[in-house]
Each structure stands twice: as C-alpha cells, then as structure tokens.
Amino acid sequence: MGLLKITAREQIPAEYMDTPIGELVEYQNLGREHKEYDSPRLLVGMCMDNRKQLKIPRNFAYVIRTAGANMRGCEFPISYAISVGGVTHMAFIAHDQCGMSGLGARKEQFVKGMVENAGWDRERAERLFIESAPRYEIGDEADFIGREAERVRGLYPGVTVAAMLYTLNDHTLSLIV
C-alpha cells in the first residue's frame, strides 16, 4: 500500500472525484468553502485521539471515533448510518503517531495511570492490559486502516469505502492506495 497526498483537486482519483470522499479531502486539504448540508453524506470512522480535527461543515458526516479507528464492534452504528441515514460513502482515517500502535511499549504507563488515576490495584490494571491490548494493537497505522477498509467493503459491497491517513504535523489527509 502507498500514500497519495493530495495538494490539488486534480490529484483526487476519478473514483472519488465529486463524491463525499473527494469533498472530504477538499475540505481538509484544499480549504474548500463549506456548504450547507441537511443530512450527512458520509460516514467517517477515525481514531479517538484528540490531536485530529476535521475541517468539515456541520451535518456533512456521521463520525465514529474509536481507539485506533478500529471499527470492529461498530457494525450496528455503521449499518444504521447506511440504512437509516442513507450514506453510501465511508472514509476510515488512521493517523501517524497513534497510541494504539506499539501498545506493548506503553504497558507500564497504562498500569501506572490506572493505579494513580482510576484507583485500581496493579493486578487488575495489568490484567486489563493483557486481556485488551491484543484487540486494540493496530501495528502500522496505514496498513491497519487499509485492511480495516477492505474488511468493511466485504460487509457492505454497495458502499464506497476509502482508507486514509491523517498526518499530525500538517493536519492533512492522504489516500491509502
């Protein structure tokens, strides 16, 4: 998989041009002027990390935020956005420097934080980490979100799903191709 950083409208792939996915890239990367929307045109699945902020108009998208942009377990809200909300396009957005990448290196920080901040005992905190970290570890961010988009495409073949990477240093989106 490779990254396609879009710095001009002409770089948007034909399959996304003049679609909600292309519009998302234009809003985020190209400063497209915001339009008014009565209902969402897109479902965005992205990491819960607070360092990311999408530059999208109100009512443009449903947004689901989860650790690492891992959409496993979110099939009902995704299905709701498709069936009731009428969306036919999704963008799954991972980001660089994600805390869910390389979780093993954060075990002690996690345990200490649960003891100090949540009032847990060390054994309980370690058990939670050991039981949960494998589910949330994503490895390489771009590879993970590409696989996640592919998995969701298989669940919803009538929906267009794009995988993207958000770069924290410049707040832009790249398509994963």
Name the residue among 91, 55, 75, 70 with its Cα closest to residue 165: 91
Q: What is the DSSP string of 98-148?
A: -TTSSGGGGHHHHHHHHHHHH---HHHHHHHHHHHHHHH---SHHHHHHHH
pLDDT of residue 140: 97
Nearest to 165 by CA among 64, 15, 29: 29
Give the pLDDT score at 114: 98
Structural domain total, the chain: 2
For the chain, what percent of residues have pLDDT higher than 70? 100
Same domain, 133 and 143: no
Q: Helix, strand or coil for residue 152?
A: helix
* Burial class of residue 154, CB neighbours in 10 A (0-12, 13-18, 19+): exposed
**pLDDT value for 69:** 96
Q: Check whether residue 126 and residue 144 sit in a common domain.
A: no
**Cα dihedral sign, 168-170-174-80:** positive
Judgement on whether residues 133 and 144 belong to the same structural domain of the protein: no
CB 115, CB 121: distance < 8 Å? yes
Predicted local confidence at residue 82, as pLDDT: 98
Model pLDDT, residue 48: 96
From first to last of its 177 residues, the chain has per-residue pLDDT tens of 799 999 999 999 999 999 999 999 999 999 999 999 999 999 999 999 999 999 999 999 999 999 999 999 999 999 999 999 999 999 999 999 999 999 999 999 999 999 999 999 999 999 999 999 999 999 999 999 999 999 999 999 999 999 999 999 999 999 999
Same domain, 65 and 7: yes
Same domain (yes/no): 32, 52:
yes
Q: Answer whether 0.85 is exceeded by the pTM.
A: yes
Q: How far is CA 59 from CA 52, 127, 141, in A?
A: 18, 41, 28
| CATH number for the domain harbouring residue 59 | 3.40.1050.10
User: DSSP 3-state assignment of 149?
Assistant: helix
> 122 and 148, same structural domain?
no
Q: 57 with 68, same domain?
A: yes
Q: Mind listing the pLDDT tens digit for each residue in 115-146?
A: 999 999 999 999 999 999 999 999 999 999 99
What pLDDT sits at residue 1?
73
Query: pLDDT tens digits, residue range 157-173?
Result: 999 999 999 999 999 99
SS3 label, residue 177: coil
Angle at 1 between CA 26 and CA 90, to 5 degrees: 45
Tokens of 77: 């809200």
For residue 142, what pLDDT is reported?
Answer: 97
84 and 158 belong to one structural domain = yes
Can you give the residue range of the structural domain that contains 107? Answer: 102-137
